[in-house]
Structure 1
């Protein structure tokens, strides 16, 4: 993610990330629990307490290099009656939760309206960052949710090979994100998909309200 914010906007970014990361990881834990896996719940991750989900280093790096992470929710596929279906839904729950936060923010924007420039700035940042997180986490690169979804959709023999090469894939992912390759591979996706998605949602809610 390319995050360029003024010092005055940093508090809004921090609050947004705390909410976005917390809801994202809670969604993973909740769906896994509903499908029969108590692992995350037993480790105290079935909560909206940010302390249980935020990774200090991953959060700090967001502000330093524009890339970071929360603590991954542990999932034990052996508890699922249908591992493939449950795996896809558990992985998709995180990004979908960020999209739902975007929709909620649009409803507040057009339904109530920001009462001040502070509220307007916060909602704008909240919408843009959660949209970026939604798109970013669906990229088919390990260890992102998009990669996990593909793992559960492909045949078993392909999944085994993907698992074997996952370490190398994660290294390639970091190289892409933290080097100038980002501008040629990931940023073009953001510069096209994110504005299109935001434009579509904005038009929808503009007509709705």
Structure 2
């Protein structure tokens, strides 16, 4: 049964909120583990979506993409504040703090894939709703994982690259952070982002469904 845009929007609320809020909470938890308690003191290490919601990035953008039947969803939350200078080993630990977000999205995509496998053959009246949520959950989490792994500061992949590169190169990469969002907007408008993400998204979706469904 094909879902209407409103029905699709409804089943997407929980997966989208979870994907974005767990991603940010994971950053905060990792930062606390490696010595920076900024997010902890501000109450941002929580799964309460109200603490993380950005009206535009969490609500408007994903909602518009859903209603426009975009090939994939993405959005963002209010970034969890991290003071990298407070980390035990700032350059090294920055990688783990940055990686925590995409890693949490991969974990959630796996959980949604398992859920899809469990309910796919169910005859329960609510199974279609759960299946729809699981499909959206797999997609939004994989998109957030792949998008954030792009080596563009301030995306997580950019911070990971800054952490891993030798000092001269890491400084050069970190210096373009102020232009990071403009670069991302260019990739979106030019269609390059879709060209990069869609093949990877299909690969990971197919792999998870092949393993768990």
Question: TM-score if structure 1 supplies the norm length?
Answer: 0.87
Alpha-carbon distance in 2 for matches of 1:49, 1:190: 29
2:165 maps to which of 143, 154, 164? 154
Instruction: Encode CA deviations 1:28-48: one digit per residue, 9 max, x unaligned.
Output: 000110111101101111111
CA deviation profile, 1:38-92 (whole Å, cap 9, x unmatched): 0110111111111111111212122235653211111112222222331111101
Determine whether 1:89 maps to 2:96: yes
In structure 2, C-alpha distance between the alignment counterparts of 1:67 and 1:202, rounded to whole Å: 20
Secondary structure of residue in 2 paired with 1:139:
coil
SS in 2 for 1:142: coil
Q: What is the CA deviation profile of residues 91-141 of structure 1, one whole-angstrom value per residue up to 9, with x for unaligned ones?
A: 010011011001111222334555421111111111111111111111112
Match of 1:176 among 183, 187, 194: 187
Contact 2:36 2:86 in 1 (8 A): yes
| Displacement over 3 Å in runs of 4+ | 65-68, 111-115
Gaps of 5+ in 1: none
Distance 2:140 2:96 in 1: 22
CA distance in 1, matches of 2:199, 2:19: 22
What is the aligned residue count? 198
Which of 101, 123, 130 pairs up with 1:119? 130
The answer for the alignment partner of 2:68 in structure 1 is none
Q: Distance in 2 between matches of 1:112 and 1:10?
A: 20
C-alpha distance in 1, partners of 2:152/2:85? 24
**Are 2:149 and 2:156, in contact at CA under 8 Å, matched by a contact in 1?**
yes
Q: How does 1:4-23 map to 2 (within 5 A)?
A: 6-23=5-22
CA deviations on 1:143-182 (whole Å, 9 max, x unpaired) are 21111111111122222222322212332222222x2x1x
In the alignment, what sits opposite 2:198?
Answer: 191
TM-score relative to the length of structure 2: 0.85
